[in-house]
Amino acid sequence: MDAELVVNLHVTEQCNYSCSFCFGKWGLPATAGVFQDPNHSIALVSDLFNVLSGSEWGSRGIRFNFAGGEPALLHALPELVEHCRGLGARTSFVSNGLMLRRFDALWLSQNFDIVGLSVDSASELTNLRIGRVTRSGRAFNLAEITSAVRELRSISRCPIKINTVVCRTNVREDLSPVLRSLAPDKWKVFQALPIYEGAETITAADFSKFLRRHIEFTRILVSEDNNQMTTSYLMVDPLGRFFWPFETGSRRTGGYSYSRPILEAGAAASFQECKISWAKYKDRYHGL
């Protein structure tokens, strides 16, 4: 491997929003999962780091990427992040933006090598339709995200990555003003995966049109269609299992496959059960 090995830790399913295309839904209670217990989560990441850093895939280093749900809702996230950094791993996370308020900019800059933010639309109506709204009815607010990004950049050059999922609701939007305002170091654009029944999936042609509309941002844009996304990520679910979507074109549609739990089988055995295309992985992980 000529790049660091990125392990996506979905530490919680809980989120302030309920986006229709969310990748991280298992129907678990709020208190369920190995990451709810600090001792279990530290044991899990330590085992992962020790096994993967000693493998051919982790020879260039390990990065733990914290995802969800909303990872900032995990109470013990700061301690877990700091433990990972103490092991020698790099760290990053993907937030819905609303929960950036939990951390001050200095702590973020000192503890994350990359800060990822999910931004799917600047339109309040679109965000309401997608489900980017709190239970109290408060929709995603781009102005708050922009302010947080500017504060972070005022004290650090920690790279900012924007993630956008393109679905039926936002496929015709132009996010150019948003990107010019946030000026991210990288923009990841995903074609909504048909993981769950009723997901807002779009055609390959519509996805291509969306990308062409944003040709101005080719330098920072990295797109992933459904085929590129499947079996190209190394992911751990809230129950501490490697998981991966069924491959595009398979007889089964929607849902995931799983390894045995890492804390039961051990990281080495669970990793051997994980289905991943290293060719796809290498194509996808470049730059940030």
What b/e string do you get for 28-67 counting C-beta neighbours within 10 Å, with b at 16 or more?
A: beeeebbbbeeeebbbbbebbbebbbeeebbeeebbbbbb
Residue 122 pLDDT > 60: yes
According to the model, what pLDDT value does residue 196 have? 57
Residue 242 pLDDT > 70: yes
According to the model, what pLDDT value does residue 79 have? 97
Q: Is the distance from CB of 190 to CB of 166 less than 8 angstroms? A: yes
Question: CA end-to-end span of the chain, whole Å?
Answer: 15
* Range from 94-98, 100-104, 250-254 carrying the lowest mean pLDDT: 250-254
pLDDT bin (cut points 50, 70, 90) of residue 115 is very high
Phi, psi of 176 (to 5 degrees): -55, -45
- Spatial distance between the Cα atoms of 66 and 108, rounded to a whole number of angstroms: 13
* Three-state secondary structure readout of 93-108: EEECCHHHHHCCHHHH
**Short-list 147, 157, 196, 105, CA closest to 288:** 157
Residue 251 pLDDT > 50: no
Give the DSSP letter string of 217-284. Answer: GTTTEEEE-HHHHTT--EEE-TTS-EEEEPPTTSSS-SSEEE---HHHH-HHHHHHH----HHHHHHH
**Short-list 109, 204, 99, CA closest to 141:** 99
pLDDT in tens, 129-170: 999 999 898 889 899 899 989 999 999 889 999 999 999 999
Structure tokens, 61: 């280093």
> What average pLDDT does the chain have?
91
pLDDT in tens, 14-27: 999 999 888 888 88
- Give residue limits of the domains in the chain: 5-284
Q: Residues 83, 84, 90, 91: what is their CA dihedral angle, to the nearest 10 degrees?
A: -90
According to the model, what pLDDT value does residue 281 have? 86
Higher pLDDT, 272 or 286: 272
Query: In DSSP terms, which residues pair with 214 in a beta bridge?
Result: none
Beta-strand ranges (E) seen in 77-216 are 90-95, 114-118, 160-166, 186-191
Residue 1 pLDDT > 90: no
Q: From edge to edge, which strands make up the β-sheet containing 5-10?
A: 221-224, 186-191, 160-166, 114-118, 90-95, 62-67, 5-10, 234-236, 242-245, 256-258
Please give the distance of CA 196 from its chain centroid, rounded to a whole number. Answer: 17
According to the model, what pLDDT value does residue 286 have? 60
Residue 276 pLDDT > 60: yes
Residue 247 pLDDT > 80: no
pLDDT in tens, 200-241: 789 999 999 999 999 999 999 999 998 888 889 999 999 999
**Short-list 168, 158, 105, CA closest to 131:** 168
**Cα–Cα distances in angstroms (integers) from residue 219 to residues 100, 186, 222, in the given order:** 26, 8, 9
pLDDT bin (cut points 50, 70, 90) of residue 283 is confident
Residue 253 pLDDT > 50: no
* 126 three-class SS: helix
Residue 164's contacts (CB-CB under 8 Å, 6 or more residues apart) are: 118, 119, 120, 170, 175, 187, 188, 189, 190
Hey, what CATH topology would domain 5-284 get?
A: TIM Barrel (3.20.20)
- pLDDT more than 90, % of the chain: 69
According to the model, what pLDDT value does residue 138 have? 87
pLDDT in tens, 40-89: 999 999 999 999 999 988 989 999 999 999 999 999 999 999 999 999 99
Residue 197 pLDDT > 80: no
